């Protein structure tokens, strides 16, 4: 979601005549989009902003800004410790960043023309108000040449109150975009060559529940999926992240009659213990989570399921943790993101007794990761020898001479081939080996294209 929000800001700067630099040394404006979900992410953003302050010495006009969740939750306070900071813009104001930064930059450039020795102080614009309709502002793209896949933000905010989570504070109430706007965005992407879209929302399956009606027993989200499915040229549809709440039969059935829906869901479980789920204020029992996974696997037998799990939540006993481990083994996730619980400001869990020491969180993290990795490796090894349809995303990040793409199950495959001819294409790739987390294969060329 942050990546998508950053794309929107970059698009507005590009429209305004700026270019995105590859290197921060070349930039006239440096914006850091921040995440607040865990303390570690905030510390990283603060550290990075501190270090980047040195560019002012060489280029006094550089504008510095924080955007996103940490900007939203800390607001003005950020200016106190970071003297070079100019702009703090919250999660409902991404569309305003360009105006703020451009104005400062233009005025600095004008002033510098008069006096080259001017030292610019932080400008201190802080805009973290709520803004009606801000969900409709994340809609523009600058697709790269041959871009295969794109994110589409379909809603903002979250109405849940998970006791550990800062998101309802930083992102506000749930607000969906109109279906017609989303469809025209997807058509625009398709026209530029995009073949796969990932629909984004905090609880994506609850899309539109407060704004739009059910039709024939189908939720607004399923209606949206059906309509995106009809767009010719879009070959794959993904969405992230769904929540057990409101995960009903209509969405399960959609996987049987919408073949473009990719065979993967990222479905956060958080804990395998009912006692902890209750303390987390997650409104479902472990049994219900398992039931949805099983129904989904019946609807789509090759479905890969990945998840998020928090270890070391306040009061988590060894038994609670083992319930989680057992559930991971039972459901055989394709992969899990394991997070050590992080105390967040103004959340109920931060005030709970029985906060666990970091050492216990770390031990549980390691133990769970061992189980998760074994499962992921086994799942990947089982694909060796099969042929998978892979959407080629272009040169691989780790080895430029090879290409990389993803299977319908969202597994990364590395293979040799021509970037010009293959990027953005769906290819059949024979999987030949697996290093555990990455698959390697060879394109299966049909006799015509082989010449």
3-state SS assignment for residue 247: coil
Stretch that binds ligand 5AD, among 42-50, 284-292, 340-348, 379-387 (CB under 6 A): 340-348
| Minimum CB distance to ligand SF4 smaller for 105 or for 162 | 162
Among residues 177, 186, 175, which one has the least CA distance to residue 228? 186
Cis bond before residue 387 (omega within 30° of 0): no
Closest separation in Å from C-beta 267 to ligand SF4 = 12
Query: Please, which of residues 415-434 interact with ligand 5AD by CB under 6 A?
Result: none
Stretch that binds ligand 5AD, among 9-17, 100-108, 185-193, 337-345 (CB under 6 A): 337-345
Q: Encoding tokens for residue 46? A: 């603060």
| Integer angstrom CA distances of residue 384 from 183, 257, 350 | 37, 28, 45
| Minimum CB distance to ligand SF4 smaller for 28 or for 308 | 308
From the list 38, 243, 266, 361, which residue makes contact with ligand 5AD (rule: CB under 6 A)?
38
Closest separation in Å from C-beta 385 to ligand 5AD = 34
Query: Please, which of residues 254-273 interact with ligand 5AD by CB under 6 A?
Result: 268, 270
| Minimum CB distance to ligand SF4 smaller for 154 or for 167 | 167
The interface partner of residue 202, options being ligand 5AD, ligand SF4, none and the CB cut-off 5 to 8 Å by kind, is ligand SF4
Q: How far apart are CA 312 and CA 349, in angstroms?
A: 12
Q: Is 341 in contact with 311 (CB distance < 8 Å)?
A: yes
Q: How far apart are CA 121 and CA 60, in angstroms?
A: 9
Which residues of this protein are in contact with ligand SF4, per CB under 6 A?
Answer: 158, 160, 162, 165, 167-168, 202-203, 243
Q: Is 390 in contact with 429 (CB distance < 8 Å)?
A: yes
| Minimum CB distance to ligand SF4 smaller for 128 or for 206 | 206
From the list 165, 237, 296, 392, which residue makes contact with ligand 5AD (rule: CB under 6 A)?
165
Closest separation in Å from C-beta 4 to ligand SF4 = 15
Beta strand segments in 117-176, E: 125-127, 149-153, 155-156, 175-176
| Minimum CB distance to ligand SF4 smaller for 1 or for 392 | 1
Closest separation in Å from C-beta 347 to ligand SF4 = 9
Closest separation in Å from C-beta 423 to ligand SF4 = 34
Give the number of residues in contact with ligand 5AD, rule: CB under 6 A: 12
Stretch that binds ligand 5AD, among 133-141, 209-217, 339-347, 357-365 (CB under 6 A): 339-347
| Minimum CB distance to ligand 5AD smaller for 185 or for 320 | 320
- Taking the chain, what is the end-to-end CA distance rounded to the nearest angstrom? 42
Closest separation in Å from C-beta 251 to ligand 5AD = 19
| Residue listed under structure tokens 């942050």 | 2
Give strand pairing partners of 390: 407, 427
Q: How far apart are CA 373 and CA 383, in angstroms?
A: 16
310 lies in the binding site for ligand 5AD (CB under 6 A): yes
The interface partner of residue 74, options being ligand SF4, ligand 5AD, none and the CB cut-off 5 to 8 Å by kind, is none
Stretch that binds ligand 5AD, among 323-331, 334-342, 402-410, 420-428 (CB under 6 A): 334-342
Phi/psi of residue 85, nearest 5 degrees: -70, 135
From the list 164, 207, 284, 289, which residue makes contact with ligand 5AD (rule: CB under 6 A)?
164
Tell me the DSSP string of 291-347. Answer: HHHHHHHHHSTT-EEEEEEEES-TT--HHHHHHHHHHHHHHT-SEEEEEE----TT-
Closest separation in Å from C-beta 284 to ligand SF4 = 11
Q: Is 263 in contact with 239 (CB distance < 8 Å)?
A: no
3-state SS assignment for residue 237: strand
37 lies in the binding site for ligand 5AD (CB under 6 A): yes
Which strand ranges, in their side-by-side order, compose the sheet holding 264-266? Answer: 264-266, 304-311, 335-340
The interface partner of residue 168, options being ligand SF4, ligand 5AD, none and the CB cut-off 5 to 8 Å by kind, is ligand SF4
64 lies in the binding site for ligand 5AD (CB under 6 A): no
Contacts of 114 (CB under 8 A, 6+ apart): none
Q: Applying CB under 6 A, which residues contact ligand 5AD?
A: 37-38, 164-165, 268, 270, 308, 310, 339, 341-342, 344
């Amino acid at each position: 979601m942050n990546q998508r929000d950053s794309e929107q800001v970059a698009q507005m700067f590009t429209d305004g005549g700026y270019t995105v630099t590859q290197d921060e040394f070349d930039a006239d404006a440096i914006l850091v989009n921040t995440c607040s979900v865990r303390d570690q992410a905030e510390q990283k953003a603060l550290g990075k902003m501190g270090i980047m302050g040195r560019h002012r010495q060489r280029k006094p006009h550089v504008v510095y800004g924080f955007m996103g969740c940490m900007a939203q939750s800390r607001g003005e306070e950020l200016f106190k410790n970071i003297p070079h900071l100019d702009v703090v813009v919250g999660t409902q104001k991404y569309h305003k960043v360009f105006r703020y930064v451009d104005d400062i930059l233009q005025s600095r450039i004008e002033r510098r023309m008069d006096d080259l020795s001017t030292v610019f102080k932080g400008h201190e614009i802080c805009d973290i108000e709520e803004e009606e309709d801000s969900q409709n502002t994340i809609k523009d793209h600058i697709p790269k040449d041959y871009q295969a896949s794109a994110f589409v933000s379909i809603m903002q905010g979250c109405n849940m109150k998970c006791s550990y989570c800062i998101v309802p504070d930083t992102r506000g109430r749930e607000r969906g975009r109109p279906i017609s706007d989303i469809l025209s965005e997807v058509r625009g992407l398709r026209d530029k060559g995009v073949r796969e879209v990932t629909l984004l929302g905090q609880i994506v399956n609850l899309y539109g529940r407060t704004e739009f009606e059910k039709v024939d027993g189908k939720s607004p989200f399923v209606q949206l999926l059906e309509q995106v499915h009809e767009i010719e040229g879009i070959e794959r549809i993904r969405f992230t992240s769904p929540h057990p709440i409101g995960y009903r039969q209509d969405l399960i059935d959609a996987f049987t009659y919408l073949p473009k829906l990719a065979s993967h869901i990222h479905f956060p479980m958080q804990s395998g213990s009912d006692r902890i789920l209750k303390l987390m204020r997650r409104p479902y029992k472990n049994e219900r989570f398992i039931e949805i996974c099983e129904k989904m696997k019946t609807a789509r037998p090759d479905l890969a399921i990945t998840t998020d799990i928090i270890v070391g939540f306040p009061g988590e006993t060894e038994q609670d943790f083992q319930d989680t481990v057992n559930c991971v083994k039972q459901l055989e996730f394709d992969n899990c993101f394991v997070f050590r619980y992080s105390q967040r400001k103004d959340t109920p869990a931060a005030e709970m007794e029985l906060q666990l020491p970091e050492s216990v969180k770390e031990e549980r993290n390691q133990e769970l990761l061992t189980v998760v990795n074994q499962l992921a490796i086994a799942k990947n090894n089982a694909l060796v020898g099969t042929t998978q349809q892979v959407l080629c995303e272009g040169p691989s990040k780790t080895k430029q001479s090879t290409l990389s793409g993803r299977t319908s199950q969202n597994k990364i495959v590395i293979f040799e081939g021509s970037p010009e001819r293959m990027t953005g294409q769906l290819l059949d790739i024979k999987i030949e080996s697996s290093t555990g987390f990455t698959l390697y294969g060879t394109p299966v060329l049909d006799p015509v294209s082989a010449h």
